């Protein structure tokens, strides 16, 4: 459910932090207010600001708050996980496509959080109790490397590092078309799509900075394999950026990648893409500084079978001259 509020800052509220102002005026927790602000749902005089932004009297605050149904805090569930690394402070997971990261509105079935709590009981008390241990996310239908915090110290430092974009996050994607050169950068603003608040858009005049670097790895007749590096970490960033420049990720059910399959001329490739059921986007590498030891670490995971299968099929069809 959405609640739209337009509020003018009163003289008594001069120099109040934005997250505190939103929390008081809308009757939500301060952590929830910060989350809504960081998601781009709150604008000050038409511009996105940080939770720590100090307001001045007369400023106009517009909030489109997306309320999520709250229920009991998540409990453990015995779900198999592929663990790439673990110690007393962090755990690095190779998340499969289809696994939701944390409970929320519309979520059915166990999530990664439930699996983590089952394996590491202490995570239940780390960070936000509704999504404990979570310092960044992958979309439900995106596979690949994720890190979660097992201690309060790790949670605070990892969260700050992700907000400052200090980690290296490299993805692989199969997208439609050819980008016309070997590499490039997509640099835009990004915010909620005004016509569909569940989606994001970079075709906006206001919003938060979003930067994606890309490199062509391989090209086929109507598709390309890209390596993408996130310089910022906005919701759906790669999917939105590629879609908005006319090269949606193959199989993407929300940003045009599913419909685009209809124009693929090779019937075998077209049939395979239509059967995917998810976007061909994989979080391939994650580089980070350990929040406690300070050691620089890098983790990677190979793309899953559906991704590699499509690459193999495209290679084979090219060899056959199709």
Cα 33 from Cα 27, distance rounded (Å): 9
Query: Which among 19, 94, 139, 252 is annotated as catalytic?
Result: 139
Q: For residue 42, is it left (φ>0), alpha (ψ between -120 and 50) or beta?
A: beta
Task: Report the distance separating Cα 269 and Cα 255, nearest Å.
Answer: 20
CB within 8 A of 269, min separation 6: which ones? 222, 223, 313, 314, 317
Place of tokens 């999504």: 131
Distance CA 216, CA 224 (A): 7
14 is catalytic: no
Residue positions annotated with a catalytic role: 139
């Amino acid at each position: 459910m959405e609640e739209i509020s337009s509020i003018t800052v009163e003289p008594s509220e001069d120099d109040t932090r934005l997250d505190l102002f939103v929390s008081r005026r809308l009757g939500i927790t301060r952590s929830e207010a910060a989350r809504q602000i960081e998601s781009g749902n709150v604008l000050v005089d038409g511009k996105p600001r940080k939770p720590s932004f100090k307001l001045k009297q007369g400023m106009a605050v517009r909030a489109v708050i997306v309320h999520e149904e709250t229920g009991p805090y998540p409990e453990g569930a015995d779900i198999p996980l592929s663990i790439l690394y673990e110690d007393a402070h962090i755990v690095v997971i190779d998340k499969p496509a289809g696994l939701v990261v944390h409970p929320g509105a519309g979520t059915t079935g166990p999530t990664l959080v439930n699996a983590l709590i089952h394996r590491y009981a202490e995570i239940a008390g780390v960070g936000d109790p509704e999504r404990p241990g979570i310092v960044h996310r992958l979309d439900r239908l995106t596979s690949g490397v994720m890190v979660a915090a097992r201690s309060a110290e790790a949670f605070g430092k990892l969260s700050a590092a992700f907000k400052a974009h200090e980690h290296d996050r490299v993805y692989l994607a199969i997208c439609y078309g050819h980008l016309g050169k070997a590499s490039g950068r997509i640099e835009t603003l990004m915010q909620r799509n005004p016509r569909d608040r569940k989606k994001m858009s970079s075709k906006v005049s206001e919003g938060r900075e979003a930067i994606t670097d890309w490199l062509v790895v391989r090209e086929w007749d109507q598709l390309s394999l890209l390596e993408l590096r996130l310089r910022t970490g906005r919701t759906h960033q790669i999917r939105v950026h590629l879609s908005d420049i006319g090269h949606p990720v193959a199989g993407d059910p929300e940003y045009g990648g599913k419909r685009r399959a209809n124009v693929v001329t090779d019937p075998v490739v077209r049939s395979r893409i239509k059967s995917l059921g998810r976007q061909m986007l994989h979080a391939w590498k994650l580089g980070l500084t350990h929040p406690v030891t300070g050691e620089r670490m890098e983790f990677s995971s190979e793309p899953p079978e559906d991704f590699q299968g499509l690459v193999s099929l495209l290679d084979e069809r090219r060899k056959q001259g199709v």
